[in-house]
Amino acid sequence: MVDLGDDTRSRARNGGGVMKRWPLVGLAICVFALAGCTPGPGVGPSPTTEVSDEQLLAAFGTLRPGAEVIASAAGDVSGDGVGDLVVIFAKGDGRNGLLVVLGGDVPSLTNDLPAPAENQSITLRDIDEAAPTEFTVQGSKGANIGYAIYRIEDGRLSDLFGEGMEDCC
């Protein structure tokens, strides 16, 4: 019989030590992976001209009276050098919508698409390093989690890719 030593016997009696740490190691890996997903210097929304978030929010309120803003993110997502505002809003019928307030001399709205019911977040990301800037939306509805990548194309909001959004909107 091979003598494993007192230290090995002690760990075996205490449940294996290393096996109990695997969930913590997995959690640490996830945290570091998510931290690495933030955009670095020089990556992100295109430079914008002077259009304030307040002006774009006011335009949204005028063009969609009574709609409640749930989340928003500002940046040039249309690629024209003018600030825009991505908005997730309550439609009033128990559903949420997503649209972009396009900045300019006369702000306008894109088409709207379904948005997550809960835990919504918007992140502007220049995925292909070319204008216009793409953005991601993620959220949930109960236990269902979803995300999607969007872009403005010819003044319209386009869904480039997504996973699970049909279950959380």
Q: What is the mean pLDDT of residues 25-39?
A: 42
- pLDDT at 164 (0 to 100): 85
How does the average pLDDT of the chain come out, rounded? 79
The residues spanned by each domain of the chain are 5-35, 53-168
Amino acid at 14: N
Measured from the Cβ of residue 164, the count of other Cβ atoms closer than 10 Å reads 17
Q: List strand residue ranges (DSSP E) for the chain, in order.
A: 68-75, 84-90, 96-102, 108-109, 113-115, 118-125, 134-141, 144-153, 156-163
pLDDT digits (tens, 9 = 90+) for 50-100: 568 899 999 999 999 999 999 999 999 999 999 999 999 999 888 999 999
Residue whose tokens read 């978030």: 53
Res. 38 pLDDT band, cuts 50 70 90:
very low
How many Å apart are CA 160 and CA 146, to the nearest integer? 14
* Higher pLDDT among residues 146 and 40, named by residue: 146
